[in-house]
Amino acid sequence: MLLFLVLCPITAAIAIIAGAPARLTALVAAISNLFVTLALLSRFDRVTAGFQFASSFLVSADWQIHFAFGIDGLSLLMLLLATIVTVAAVWFTGKIDNHARAFYACLLFISGGAIGAFASIDLFFFYAFHELALIPTFLLIGIWGTGNRSVAAWKITIYLTLGSFVLLIGLILLYQSLPATTRTFDIRELQAATAAHAIAAPTQRHIYLLLLIGFGVLISLFPFHSWAPEAYASAPAPAAMLHAGVLKKFGLYGLLRLAIPMLPDGAHYWMYLLVILLLGNIIYIGLVTIAQKRLDWMLGYSSVMHMGYIFLGIASANILGATGAAALIFAHGLSIALLFAVAGQIRNRTGTLLFDDLGGLAKVMPFAGLAFGFAAFAAIGLPGFANFASEILIFFGAIRNGWEMQRFHIFQIATVLALWGIVISTVYMLRAYRSTFMGTINERWGKLVDLGTGLRLPVVLLVAGLIWFGFFPQTLVRMVTPTFRPYFTATK
């Protein structure tokens, strides 16, 4: 089933390029992957730690590279996020006037690359699948984007290429730091080898810093964030949904999968740096978000801001914080995908996303207003949505923290400031909702058409995920916690 998950979107993309019906093929592939992921979820053992459903095919005997896949609770959560958002993104795409086949194929290549990276248990393919998804991202923005799309496409490409290069150096050093007899690309064996033959603390510091910078650029960690808002504002809505909702989470997944369990001394050493940078995401970028005058730019900056909360959970180095970080990865992926989807539909109908040009759209687009309201409330952490449960775990994890500090410490300061970040996000989200959907409607928008029945299905899918895990967060927590238990003690 894992092999099917990885190859299905890639095969469908190739079939579309070869002449298969673009929209139908993409929808069938996306929905099939979602059902396969739900089947994996139903069969997944939530008690057992370690990878399940593992399969491996030898690619290079000399380098011991395997086309290997397996899932634990963390990777299954990422697969569920990827398949849900893929269905919504393909469904919201609709009619493409120019090069429709290439557009749908690019979406599926992004989805296949993300799924392949999340399911891979071989370090080589973990990296390679992510790189596969970067090329179609550049094409989607450069060819089908809006505004200053060429600049945005090149900017995101240069930033992410440099980040990937730094990440590659860090992964090579991680591989080289182990004794020759234990060097392997298998992530399971890497984790066992680093636990049995602890990498020297100075070496861990160098490797962790490279991984933090490499993954951080991919995640839009402050101050490496400037590519994200412009890219998301210029990208077609389905591309923004997939990248902001899924592909950008690769860096966070990589930190949780590789950096924290394999380089604990390095994580401890650079803890203060990470806390300062993540506060830049939450406070500085939050204030910048308030100043935005366009809905698409506001959503782009808000996506950057919310990465700070996830970094706070990762930096806390305990089960509570890490579980909250994983849960917020999922919750933010759904909420930001829905926000970009509705914003894309508004742009398609009005041709603008300037707040000054909008207003009162709820009178003619009530369902779109309801959908945007749900996503906005989820994004600001309203109780009843998955984001709230995730942030609560992060805040408690940060206050408790796993570094055994005494008295008043930096994590308590960061948590207090992060709570003010929620106030900031409430201001800009409610302001955006008021400016777009409330007030007096412009005469030009009096005859706008609301989201049709077909587009309401993916909205229901995204909202259902947010509400289900908001009311029943234990279903998510029980799935993810065994992943972190081996390298965080029970008391942490």
Mean pLDDT across 17-21: 90
Q: In this predicted structure, what is the pLDDT of residue 490? A: 40
Q: Which of helix, strand or coil describes residue 432? A: helix
Model confidence at 278, pLDDT cuts 50, 70, 90, reads very high
Q: In this predicted structure, what is the pLDDT of residue 404? A: 59
Report the distance separating Cα 230 and Cα 152, nearest Å.
6
Q: In this predicted structure, what is the pLDDT of residue 80? A: 94
Mean pLDDT across 273-285: 93
Q: Percentage of the chain with pLDDT > 90?
A: 55
Report the distance separating Cα 392 and Cα 347, nearest Å.
34
pLDDT in tens, 196-253: 777 888 888 999 999 999 999 999 999 898 899 999 999 999 999 999 999 999 999 9
199 φψ region: left (φ > 0), alpha (ψ -120 to 50), beta (else): beta
Give the predicted TM-score (pTM) of the model.
0.93
- Residue 440 confidence (pLDDT) above 60: yes
Q: In this predicted structure, what is the pLDDT of residue 491? A: 38
Selection from 208, 12, 232 nearest residue 104 by Cα? 12
- Residue 309 confidence (pLDDT) above 80: yes
450 φψ region: left (φ > 0), alpha (ψ -120 to 50), beta (else): beta
- Residue 408 confidence (pLDDT) above 70: no
- Residue 300 confidence (pLDDT) above 90: yes
Mean pLDDT across 284-307: 93
Mean pLDDT across 27-52: 88
382 φψ region: left (φ > 0), alpha (ψ -120 to 50), beta (else): beta
- Residue 64 confidence (pLDDT) above 70: yes
pLDDT in tens, 150-183: 899 999 999 999 999 999 999 999 888 887 777 7
Mean pLDDT across 361-374: 92
Q: In this predicted structure, what is the pLDDT of residue 485? A: 83
